[in-house]
Amino acid sequence: MRRMKTTTLAIVLAVSLFGCSKKQAAKPTTPTEPTAGAAPAQVNKPPPLLTQDQVVSPSLAVSGDIISACGIKAAPTSGSPKFDTDKDELTAEDRAVLDQIATCLTTGALKGRAVDLIGRADPRGTAEYNLGLGSRRAASVSGYLGRLGVGQPQMVVTTRGALDATGTDESTYAQDRRVDIQLQPNAKT
């Protein structure tokens, strides 16, 4: 008898939680008349493939094909892309750009496409330390995008550490401390 009451209560609870949800009615839209001075509608062309990375925030460089496909708006920066020395924390400007990228990868023009997140470091420090630091920087970007709904299969986290670093002084070292975000060719998840 007790088992039947428990089962009945569970069924009633499940129906009340899931079976009675209301869907919002679609709001009617009023069509607008085109104005006499309005410009003709532009036909959307597929974005050209760009291979050069562009600085979009203090710590991020994003490939041109992602910028054009997603319409990424660069955050106002105070110079070249850089993480602080020995740091992997994202700035508010970085997060603003990553918000745009996440939207594009989850619901936008690049929905389902995969990206490479390549962590980089300046040449100071040991090779092992720099590889680890680059990995932490890329993981920081991956973690943030993951919290915004980008699936792990869509993100390939790698590090180059200081292998491709070109800096020779403090101002050029700063340009080496970044994460590059690049679209994988023809890769869908």
Instruction: Name every residue whose Cβ is closer than 8 Å to that of residue 161 and which is 6 or more positions away in sequence.
Output: 119, 120, 121, 127, 130, 131, 132, 133, 134
pLDDT of amino acid 163: 94
How many helices (DSSP H) and strands (DSSP E) are in the chain? 5, 5
Encoded amino acid at 110, one letter: L
Partners of 179 in beta bridges: 60, 119
pLDDT of amino acid 11: 52
How many Cβ atoms from other residues are within 10 Å of residue 47's Cβ? Answer: 15
Per-residue exposure over 84-99, b if at least 16 CB sit within 10 Å of its own CB, e if not: eeeebebbebbbbbbe
Nearest to 104 by CA among 158, 68, 142, 57: 68
C-alpha distances in Å from residue 114, one per residue of 39, 60, 184: 36, 17, 6
pTM of the predicted protein model = 0.67
Which H/E stretch holds residue 179? strand 179-188
Mean pLDDT by 10 residues, the chain (189 residues): 52 44 42 41 38 65 90 66 81 91 96 95 94 95 96 95 92 90 79
pLDDT of amino acid 32: 40
**Judging by beta carbons within 10 Å of its beta carbon (0-12, 13-18, 19+), is residue 144 exposed, middle or buried?**
middle
